[in-house]
Amino acid sequence: MNVQEIPERSRRRSLALVFAAAALIAASAVSAQSIVDDWASIKAPPLPELKPVTIDPKTTALLMLDFVTPNCTNRPRCMAQLPAVKKLLETAREKGMVVAFATGAAGKRADTRPEVYPLDSEPVVSTGVDKFMNTDLEKILKDGGVTTVIAIGTAAQGAVLYTASGASLRGMKVIVPIDGMSDTPYSEQYTAWHLANAPVVSRNVTLTRFDLLKF
């Protein structure tokens, strides 16, 4: 073997290793182009700021979203929140606020949990996750002089997310107490993040807690 061939063979081997490493890096970059590839490594964002809110009863409505059986009954967080939800409902009534209830498309007034059952004078709309779709909810709110809504209910990523977004896109101010929306912890976290960050929608949304509401 010619001794001059040794450096040349070494150089070729080094180049081959460099190209192989580059190929692996490129393959890794390509495989990480979707959220599925990065799913396990994603860190949760910081908690959105929760702000105190002063309620004007004359222009604010309380939206009670899907507090029905089995929706609430089958969600431990919803059942745990009912005492605080009931207290807010009673306060809203005492202050003369507009109160509107909602159920799923196949639901009805009688399905509402007894702890927070609607009065005969309080409207109930039935539809999918966006309670404005194919209902009179927007008209009910406008006729009541409502410019701000408090949206609470279950599921967080369903009725609360879509109805709060729908209200915001209709130009209303939206107050969402995070301890009044329920589902799985991840669904609640996602909903809070989305409402605080979604383009256009987030401009009109304030995240808060029950104890930060003042009347």
* Shared domain check, 22 and 124: no
* Shared domain check, 92 and 183: yes
Question: What is the Cα–Cα distance from 162 to 106, expressed in whole angstroms?
Answer: 18
Please tell me the predicted confidence (pLDDT) of residue 27.
Answer: 55
Please tell me the predicted confidence (pLDDT) of residue 76.
Answer: 96
With respect to residue 183, please indicate whether it lies within any of the assigned structural domains: yes
With respect to residue 48, please indicate whether it lies within any of the assigned structural domains: no
With respect to residue 143, please indicate whether it lies within any of the assigned structural domains: yes
Yes or no: say if 78 and 64 are a contact pair by the CB < 8 Å rule.
Answer: no
Distance from the Cα of residue 77 to its chain's centroid: 15
Q: Average pLDDT for residues 201-206, to the nearest whole number?
A: 98
* Shared domain check, 133 and 191: yes
Count up the domains in the chain and report the number. Answer: 2
Please tell me the predicted confidence (pLDDT) of residue 70.
Answer: 87
* Shared domain check, 117 and 156: yes
* Shared domain check, 172 and 80: yes
Q: Average pLDDT for residues 64-92, to the nearest whole number?
A: 97
Please tell me the predicted confidence (pLDDT) of residue 149.
Answer: 98
Please tell me the predicted confidence (pLDDT) of residue 33.
Answer: 85
* Listed range (2-6, 38-42, 93-97, 123-127) with the worst mean pLDDT: 2-6
* Shared domain check, 185 and 93: yes
Q: Average pLDDT for residues 141-167, to the nearest whole number?
A: 98
With respect to residue 68, please indicate whether it lies within any of the assigned structural domains: yes
* Shared domain check, 128 and 65: yes
* Mean of pLDDT over the chain: 91
In terms of Cα–Cα distance, which of 158, 157, 176 is closest to 168?
176
With respect to residue 44, please indicate whether it lies within any of the assigned structural domains: no
Band (pLDDT 50/70/90 cuts) for residue 1 is low
* Shared domain check, 87 and 18: no
Structural domain boundaries, residue 101: 53-214
Residue 3, pLDDT above cutoff 60: no
* Shared domain check, 129 and 58: yes
With respect to residue 45, please indicate whether it lies within any of the assigned structural domains: no
With respect to residue 46, please indicate whether it lies within any of the assigned structural domains: no
Please tell me the predicted confidence (pLDDT) of residue 136.
Answer: 98
* Shared domain check, 26 and 60: no
Please tell me the predicted confidence (pLDDT) of residue 142.
Answer: 98
Q: What is the pLDDT of residues 160-185, one digit of tens each?
A: 999 999 999 999 999 999 999 999 99
Yes or no: say if 21 and 27 are a contact pair by the CB < 8 Å rule.
Answer: no
Q: What is the pLDDT of residues 109-143, one digit of tens each?
A: 999 999 999 999 999 999 999 999 999 999 999 99
* Shared domain check, 106 and 15: no
With respect to residue 130, please indicate whether it lies within any of the assigned structural domains: yes
DSSP result, the chain: --TTHHHHHHHHHHHHHHHHHHHHHHHHHHHTSSHHHHGGGPPPPPPPPP--EE--TTTEEEEEE--BTTTTTT-HHHHHHHHHHHHHHHHHHHTT-EEEEEE-TT--GGGB-GGGPPPTTS-EEE-SSSTTTTSSHHHHHHHTT--EEEEEEE-IIIIIHHHHHHHHHTT-EEEEEGGGEES-HHHHHHHHHHHHHSTTGGGGEEEE-GGGEE-
Question: What is the Cα–Cα distance from 72 to 155, expressed in whole angstroms?
Answer: 8
Please tell me the predicted confidence (pLDDT) of residue 20.
Answer: 63
Q: Which residues are registered as beta bridge partners of 127?
A: none
List the structure tokens of 79.
Answer: 């059942």
Maximum pairwise Cα distance, the chain: 101
Question: What is the Cα–Cα distance from 17 to 195, expressed in whole angstroms?
Answer: 49
Yes or no: say if 180 and 88 are a contact pair by the CB < 8 Å rule.
Answer: yes
Q: Average pLDDT for residues 91-107, to the nearest whole number?
A: 97
* Shared domain check, 115 and 74: yes
Yes or no: say if 94 and 119 are a contact pair by the CB < 8 Å rule.
Answer: no
Quote the percentage of the chain above a pLDDT of 90.
83
Q: What is the pLDDT of residues 27-48, one digit of tens each?
A: 555 556 899 999 999 999 998 9
Say which CATH number the domain at 188 has. Answer: 3.40.50.850
